[in-house]
Structure 1
Amino acid sequence: MSIPTPRTRFRTRTLRRLAVLATAVASVLPATAGAAHATTPVVPAASATPPGSIAAAPYYYLDSYNRPDPVDIMRRTGARWFTLAFVVAPDADTCAPQWDGGGTLDADSAPSKAIGAIRAAGGDVIPSLGGGGVTKLGQVCGSADALAGAYQKVVDAYRLTAVDLDIEGAEFADAAARQRNVAALKLLQDNNPGLKVYVTVPVLDTGFSSKGVALVNEAEAAGLDVTAWAGMAFWFGKGAIDMGDASIRAMNGMQTVVRDAYGMSDRDAYRHVGLSSLAGVNEDPGEVITLQDFQQVLTYAHQHRIGRLTFWNVNRDRQCQADGSDPADTCSGVPQSLYEYTGMVAKYRQPAA
C-alpha cells in the first residue's frame, strides 16, 4: 500500500479555492523516441556554480497564489538552490512537459522568469519531475525513450545540472511506471554527462517501503547513478511521535538498503541518502515537524554528510495568522520567524569527498 502525501490534499484544497488561477495550457508537441536536443535554450544557464550546497535545496512551489519572491528568500536566508515543483504532463494523453498549473517552458512564462531571477541573483534550480495529485509524465509517456525525450526538453530549456524525480502516489505504486522512469533517467544521464539525478520517494519511519526497495534495486540493475535518494519522512500515520527521531530512523533504514544494493561502504551510502521533510504541522493528526526536529536533522546531516536535505516547502515557511484565516499550505502552524526552516536548510554544506 502506497503512503499518501499531504501535497495532494493541500493542493486539492488550494486549487478548489483558487480555480481562477488556472491558465490555458500551451500547445506542445509530444515527445518522441530519440528526440533531438533543443537548439536554443529558453533561459540562460547559471553563470557559475552557486555558492552553498546543491544538496540543500528546499522545494519552491510555482503554482501558488501566495508564491513568495525567491530572490527575497535568498537574501534573507542565504539559500542558493531551490527544488522547483513540479514538471508534469498537460493531460493524460500528451507526453510533453509543462509546469504544474499550466506554465510552459517558454522564456516568457512565469516559471522561466522565476528561474532567470534566481540565476541572476547567483542561485540555481533543480526542477522536480512528478509530484503529488497531478498527471505525471512517467504515467503518460508510453516508453522509456518517449519519457527520456520529455525530460530532455526540460534539461535543454534550462541548461540543467540536476533534476529531481518526485515519484509518489499512483506513479510510485505502478511497477511499470517505476521501471520506465529508471530507464528514462538512465538515458537522460547517458545523454547529459555529469547530470545529477535525485530521487524522492515516500518512506516509512523505518526506511524504504517494499516499493522503494524495488525502485532502488531497479536503479542499481540499470546502472542509474542516483546522486541521492530522499525519503519523504512524514505522514507516517502514527500521530504525535518525535519527528526528529523518526526522520533519522528513516534515513538510517534507507542507508542500509542503498549500501547493500550498491555494495557501498557505510560512509558512501550515507552520502547517497537524504531527507525530504515538511515544515510544521501535517494534516496527519498530531504529526508536527518542529524547528527543533530540523536542528536535530541538520546535526545528523553534517555528521553523516548526507546527499540531500530539503522540505515541503518555502511557500508555507511562515507563522500562521492568529485568526487562522490562512488558506491551505501557506503557513507552518508552528511559532517561527519568516523563512526559518529555509534558513536552517541553507546552513547545510555537504563536505567534499
Structure 2
Amino acid sequence: MTALSATLVVLGGGGAHASGQQSPGTAGPMPAHVAAPYVETWTGESPAALAAESGNKYLTMAFLQTPVAGSCTAYWNGDTTKPIARAAFGDDIAAIQARGGNVIPSFGGYSADTTGTELADSCTSVDAIAAVYENLARTYGITRIDLDVEADSITDTAGIDRRNKAIAKAERWADRTGHNLQFSYTLPTTNTGLAPSGVALLQNAVDNHARVDVVNIMTFDYWDGVRHDMAADTKSAAAGLHGQLAALYPKKNPARLWGVIGVTEMPGIDDYGPEETFTTPDAVTVEKWAAARGIDTLSFWALQRDNGGCVGTAGANSCSGIAQDTWYFSHVFESFTRGRHVH
C-alpha cells in the first residue's frame, strides 16, 4: 500500500480451513473467511494490545523489507534492530495466537516497492528469498504470508519471476515438512478489476506453479479524479477480478474463485481525498456482500486509523477523517470472521 497499502494473495487450491492455535510449525490454516486489518508495526504500539482493544482476532502486520537494495535479509520495516526473530514481535504474535487468532506478515508496501527493498526485488537468489519465507513460518508459527506488490514492483518482471519461484519453493518445503503455509498477493486495482500488470503477475505465478491462495485488491485508491461510491466500486472491482481469475484458473468453479478474493478498504477519507471516502454505511454494505459472496479476506488500512479523531482530514495515518465510534470498522468487519453479520 501507499503509506497506506494492502495485501497480495496467491490463488490456491486450498485445503481444509480451520481456526485455533497450535504450536509453531503445526498451526492450522487461516479461517475460510477472515477479517485481518493491517497494523502499522513502526509506531511502537503493541499489535497484541491493539488487537485486544479493537476486537480483532487476526491482523496483517506491515511491513517486512530489506534494509538496502541488494540485500537478501528481511527486517520489520527494514529496521536492522527488528529481525525475523522471537525478540521482535514474538510475544505479541504469541499472545494473538493464544487468543485463537494469528497474524499475516506482509512484505513490501509502497515504500519498499519504490526503493528496491521489497525482498524479491532486492535479492537475486530464489533460494534465499524462499528461505526467508520458510524462516518466517518457523519463527512465528504463522500460516499465511502476504505480498504487497505495487508501484515499481508490479512491473519489475525479474522480481516478479523470482518471487513466484520462491513461493513455489516455499510451498514445496511446507508440503514436505507438514507446515500449513498460504500466500496472498495484495495488488492495486481499478474499479473493474486488475490492471494488465496485475494479471501478468498472476500469470507468472501460474507459469511457475506458485499456488496463490488469495488475491487481495486495494479497493480504496483509484486515482482517477472521479467521485466514487466506494462500496459499489468494491463490488465491481471484485467482479472484474473474478472474471480475470476465471481465465487464469479455468478449472476452478465460480464459487471457488470467489473464495480466492480479498478486498482491502481504507476507513474514512483516503489519501486521494474526499472523492474516495469509505463511510460507516459502506462498511456494513461491504461486510454483508463479502459474506454473501463467500470471499476469503476482508481487510482495511490500517487499524490505527479506526477512530474519529481528525474529522475532515484526508489520508491520516492515525485517524479516519470521518465521525465514527472508535473501532467501528473493526467491529463491523470482525462479524465476517465470526459469521454473525451486522444488520
Q: How many angstroms does 1:242 deviate by?
A: 0.4
Q: How many angstroms does 1:131 deviate by?
A: 1.4
CA contact (8 A) 1:88 1:98 kept: yes
- 1:32-66 Cα deviation digits (max 9, x unpaired): xxxxxxxxxxxx6399659966632111111125x
- Flag the 1:318–1:149 CA change in 2: closer, same or farther, 3 A: same
CA contact (8 A) 2:51 2:96 kept: no
- 1:2-59 Cα deviation digits (max 9, x unpaired): xxx53269xxxxxxxxxxxxxxxxxxxxxxxxxxxxxxxxxx6399659966632111
1:223 to 209, 221, 225: 209
Q: Equivalent residue for 1:86?
A: 63
Looking at structure 1, the residues matched to 49 and 109 of structure 2 have their Cα atoms a distance apart, in angstroms, of: 24
Looking at structure 1, the residues matched to 214 and 85 of structure 2 have their Cα atoms a distance apart, in angstroms, of: 29
Q: How many angstroms does 1:235 deviate by?
A: 1.6
- Flag the 1:208–1:276 CA change in 2: closer, same or farther, 3 A: same
How many aligned positions are there?
310
The aligned amino acid for 1:332 is S
Looking at structure 2, the residues matched to 235 and 145 of structure 1 have their Cα atoms a distance apart, in angstroms, of: 34
Looking at structure 2, the residues matched to 350 and 206 of structure 1 have their Cα atoms a distance apart, in angstroms, of: 29
2:241 to 254, 266, 273: 254
Looking at structure 2, the residues matched to 281 and 191 of structure 1 have their Cα atoms a distance apart, in angstroms, of: 42
- Flag the 1:294–1:283 CA change in 2: closer, same or farther, 3 A: same
Q: Equivalent residue for 1:265?
A: 253
Q: How many angstroms does 1:151 deviate by?
A: 1.9
Q: How many angstroms does 1:83 deviate by?
A: 0.8
CA contact (8 A) 2:65 2:78 kept: no
Q: Equivalent residue for 1:108?
A: 87
Q: Equivalent residue for 2:14?
A: none
Q: How many angstroms does 1:90 deviate by?
A: 1.6
- Flag the 1:322–1:62 CA change in 2: closer, same or farther, 3 A: same
Question: Within the alignment, does 1:117 sit opposite 2:100 as a pair?
Answer: no
SS in 2 for 1:133: helix
Using the aligned pairs only, state the percent identity.
26
Over the aligned positions, Cα root-mean-square deviation in angstroms equals 2.7
SS in 1 for 2:189: strand
Q: 1:192-341, aligned counterparts within 5 Å?
A: 192-193=174-175, 194-237=180-223, 238-263=225-250, 264-285=252-273, 286-321=275-310, 328-341=316-329
The aligned amino acid for 2:96 is I
Question: Within the alignment, does 1:164 sit opposite 2:146 as a pair?
Answer: yes
CA contact (8 A) 1:315 1:330 kept: yes
Q: Equivalent residue for 1:33?
A: none
- Flag the 1:52–1:137 CA change in 2: closer, same or farther, 3 A: closer
SS in 2 for 1:306: coil
SS in 1 for 2:163: helix
The aligned amino acid for 1:206 is T
Q: How many angstroms does 1:313 deviate by?
A: 0.9
The aligned amino acid for 2:318 is T
Looking at structure 2, the residues matched to 49 and 151 of structure 1 have their Cα atoms a distance apart, in angstroms, of: 17
The aligned amino acid for 1:119 is Q
- 1:279-326 Cα deviation digits (max 9, x unpaired): 1111213211112112111111111100211111101111124697x9
- Flag the 1:260–1:292 CA change in 2: closer, same or farther, 3 A: same
Which runs of 5 or more residues in structure 1 are unaligned?
Answer: 10-43
Looking at structure 2, the residues matched to 179 and 203 of structure 1 have their Cα atoms a distance apart, in angstroms, of: 20
Looking at structure 1, the residues matched to 325 and 68 of structure 2 have their Cα atoms a distance apart, in angstroms, of: 39
CA contact (8 A) 2:35 2:297 kept: yes
